[in-house]
Structure 1
Amino acid sequence: MSIQVKWFPTLIKRTRSKQPVTEVAWQPGLTPLQVFLDEGFSEVDAEAVMVIVNDAQAKLHDPLDDGDRLEFMVSIQGG
C-alpha cells in the first residue's frame, strides 16, 4: 500500500530524499500536504505548489487513496 510521488525538478534538491520519484506508505487520512511536509517543506512553501493526483488537479487537503499517483508542480506565474 503506497503512493507514488513525482517531484517538479526545482523541488527535488529541497526534498529530504533528493529523488525525482519517491514512494510513501499509504495510510487512511493521508493528504498531499502531509506528504509535502514530511519531505521537509513548510506550509508557506505549499502555497507555491500545484497538486496533481492521478493526472487531475487536486487540493492539498484532499485525502489520498492507496495506489494514487501524486505530483507536486511549482506554480509559475509571469507576465
Structure 2
Amino acid sequence: MSIQVKWFPTLVKRSRSKQPETVVAWRPGLTPLQVLLDEGFSEVDAEAVMPIVNGAQAGLRDGLADGDRLEFLVSIQGG
C-alpha cells in the first residue's frame, strides 16, 4: 500500500529525500499536508504548494487513498 509522489523541481532541493519522485507508505488519514510535513516542509511552506491527486487539483487536507498519484506544484505568482 503506497502513494507515488512527484515533486516540483524547486521542492526537490528542500525535501529530506532530495528525489524528484518518491513512494510513501499509505496509512489511514494520510493527507498531502502530512506528506509535505514528513519531508521536512512547514505548514507555512505548504501555503505555496498545490497538491494534484490523480491529475486533479486537491486540498492539502484531503484524504489520500492507497495507490493515489500525488504531485506537488509550486504556486508561482508575479505581477
Q: TM-score range by the shorter chain?
A: over 0.9
Q: Secondary structure at 1:23's aligned position in 2?
A: strand
In structure 1, how many angstroms separate the alpha carbons of the residues matched to 2:16 and 2:78?
29
TM-score for the superposition, normalised by structure 1:
0.98
Q: Secondary structure at 2:66's aligned position in 1?
A: coil
Q: Secondary structure at 2:17's aligned position in 1?
A: coil
1:78 shift after superposition: 1.5
Moved over 4 A (4+): none
TM-score for the superposition, normalised by structure 2:
0.98
Q: Which residue of 1 aligns with 2:19?
A: 19
Residues 18-68 of structure 1 deviation map (CA, whole Å, 9 limit, x = unaligned):
000000000111000000000000000000001100000000000000000
Q: How many residues align?
A: 79
Q: Which residue of 1 aligns with 2:2?
A: 2
Q: CA RMSD in A?
A: 0.4
Q: Is there any run of 5+ residues in structure 2 with no aligned partner, and where?
A: none
